[in-house]
Structure formats: C-alpha cells, structure tokens
Amino acid sequence: MALDRVDRSVIEGKIDVIERNLDSLHEYKSVSEEDFLKSYKDIQAAKYSPPKPIEEACLDISAHIISSLGLERAESYRRCLKYSEKEELWTRNLLPSLPT
C-alpha cells in the first residue's frame, strides 16, 4: 500500500479524538456499579457520548486512507467499511453493526 500520500496530521487528530473519548470512558471505572446504575445520565453518557465519536474517528481514518490511495469515494460509513475490508484496512467485519 502506498501510504506516503496519507496526511499524518489528519490521522493524529483522529487518534487524539479516540484517546480523549477513551479517557472519558475510563473515568467510569472508579464508580461502583450500584452508583453507576442509579444515574440515568451516566448510563446515557457512557453509552452514547464517547463510543460514537470513537467509531466516527476510526471510520474517518479509514476514509482518509481510502481517499489518499485514490480508491473509490465512500459516500457513507457503510461503504467506507466495505472498501476498507476489500483493501484489508480493517481486520474484523463491522458491517452488520452499521445502519444502511
């Protein structure tokens, strides 16, 4: 793969998003299960806030690599993942979990 066309700063920016959101999730490790389950706000925050940006950042990295390689433009995250799998940028099948 000719990855010399990949903009390292784009990838690093997305990795920063992933790391910040993982740090946010790790904050819940210190909360007891009982206290966590008492808070609807915490449940919703842990369920949606960090995971979605992490997922999007991973797919944005993939889309950037696909674009940098001059492959077909992915119009959606689902198509991006299809191209990623075809080009073996991902090692596991995530397509079933994505909306059409």
Residues spanned by the domain of 62: 3-74
Closest Cα to residue 84, out of 99, 71, 97?
71
pLDDT tens per residue across span 25-58: 888 888 899 998 999 988 888 887 778 888 889 8
Whether 68 maps to a domain, the answer reads yes
Q: Is position 65 within any domain?
A: yes
CA distance 91 to 6: 19
Mean pLDDT in the chain? Answer: 78
Would you say residue 80 lies in a domain?
no
Find the mean pLDDT for residues 82-100: 57
Residue 93 maps to a domain: no
Residue 86, in any domain of the structure:
no
Is 94 among the domain residues? no
> Residue 61 has what pLDDT?
86
Element (H, E) at 35: helix 33-38
The answer as to whether 13 is a domain residue is yes
Kindly state the percentage of the chain with pLDDT values over 90.
12
Q: How many structural domains is the chain composed of?
A: 1
pTM for the model stands at 0.68
> Does any domain span residue 98?
no
